[in-house]
Amino acid sequence: MSSQSSGTSRSGQKTASGFPAERKARVEWVTIDDDQAGQRVDNFLINRLGGVPRSVVYRILRKGEVRVNRGRVKPPYKLRAGDEVRVPPVTRRNDAPERVVPGARVQRVVEKAICHEDDRMLVINKPEGMAVHGGSGLSFGLIEVLRAARPDARFLELVHRLDRDTSGLVMIARKRSALRHLQEEIRSRRVTKRYQVLVAGDWPESCTAVDHPLERYERQSGERMVRVSDSGKSALTRFRVLERFQGYTLMEAFPVTGRTHQIRVHAASQGHPVAGDDKYMDGAALKAFRSAGGERLMLHASGLELTAPDDQPLTLEARPSRAFASLLARLRKP
């Protein structure tokens, strides 16, 4: 068998992200390169067979239609460089909705928001209101927009996530080796993340850290929430007061752990929810914030300090949006 480059099948077809645009009724053999190595075979197939239900992916694995080096594998199998993967002729469901392609305008917005780029990674100052990825009713998010804007990119993957309504710095890996490096740096707590956050009320100067375990749960409506709970996972956030206003405090927050909604729930647990937070701020406080001109969740990932995949120190800063800055300017007026 002859080898081929990343994402190139023996049919010779390539498209954005190196994946075939239309799947033909033929078997393909794909040779795994260094950038693809390390991922589970089920995730590899889910990405490659875009539009095919996950149930189909697991069925063809279970039936042995997918082979690696001519042998059967189970979904958790981690691909290695040089592996030969047999991809069976699977067609997309006729009733599955077509993927929505992000338009040129939103692609330009994301490209202009790039604040660091090298051959291993990108860092983007994500706008508020944009999810980092599609799903849960969203046709696309930041990563899908970036892939559409860069159809020749062989590898683009999120390193970490921000809430949809939180703005700020998001890292994107351009190589699988970079993804592994950056995620290990985060797991080992060697990445410093700094946030600007405006909270309701007068935050006490003595409260410099909140160390409460957090637990995810769902309301009866299906809305996903997080609460402080002894049965939750450990979570630690450090806080520092920057500026005080009538009714609000501007803070810096440093999440030591990376739990869902961590800063938002830790701030709310102290009686000082993040301004504009429609999940954890009570109705009266949220209404008062809106009447004062508040337009967004006042949480912005403003800084990153880390060792980049090239082993060089990297420090990045990103300004918040105009809506964030405008509200602070109004609060500063006597």
DSSP-assigned letters across all residues of 50-78: TTS-HHHHHHHHHTT-SEETTEE--TTPB
Does domain 104-332 fall into CATH 3.30.2350.10? yes
The CB-side HSE value for 120 (13 A sphere, CA atoms) comes to 13
Spatial separation of the C-alpha atoms in residues 32 and 112, rounded to whole Å? 33
Spatial separation of the C-alpha atoms in residues 300 and 318, rounded to whole Å? 9
**pLDDT at residue 68 above 90?**
yes
* Proportion of the chain above pLDDT 70, given as a percent: 88
Q: Please calculate the CA angle 304-294-240 and round it to the nearest 5 degrees.
A: 40
Q: What is the pLDDT of residue 51?
A: 66
Please provide the average confidence, as pLDDT, over all residues in the chain: 88
Q: Smallest Cα–Cα separation from 192: which of 98, 10, 315, 92?
A: 315
Question: Of 157 and 35, which is predicted with more confidence?
Answer: 157
Residue 135: how many CB atoms within 10 A of its CB? Answer: 10
Q: What is the pLDDT of residue 18?
A: 41
Q: Are residues 169 and 301 in contact, defined by beta-carbon separation less than 8 angstroms?
A: yes
Angstrom CA distances, 247 to 211, 239, 277, 299, stand at 25, 18, 15, 17
- R_g of the chain, CA atoms, integer Å: 22
Q: What are φ and ψ of residue 113, in 5° steps?
A: -85, 0
**pLDDT at residue 311 above 60?**
yes
Question: Of 334 and 97, which is predicted with more confidence?
Answer: 334
Kind plus residue range of the DSSP H or E element containing 165: none
Tokens, residue 206 = 């003595």
* Phi-psi group of 58: left, alpha or beta (phi > 0 → left; psi -120 to 50 → alpha; rest → beta): alpha
Confidence band (pLDDT; 50, 70, 90) for 75?
Answer: very high
Q: pTM above 0.85?
A: no
Q: What is the pLDDT of residue 50?
A: 67
Q: What is the pLDDT of residue 53?
A: 81
Question: Of 73 and 22, which is predicted with more confidence?
Answer: 73
Q: What is the pLDDT of residue 201?
A: 97
Spatial separation of the C-alpha atoms in residues 281 and 287, rounded to whole Å? 10
**pLDDT at residue 237 above 70?**
yes
Domain boundary assignment for the chain: 16-87, 104-332
pLDDT tens digit sequence for 257-291: 999 999 999 999 999 999 999 999 999 999 999 99
Q: What is the pLDDT of residue 92?
A: 57
Q: Which CATH architecture has domain 16-87?
A: Roll (3.10)
Q: Active-site residue numbers?
A: 163
Cα dihedral 187, 189, 193, 198, rounded to 10, equals: 100
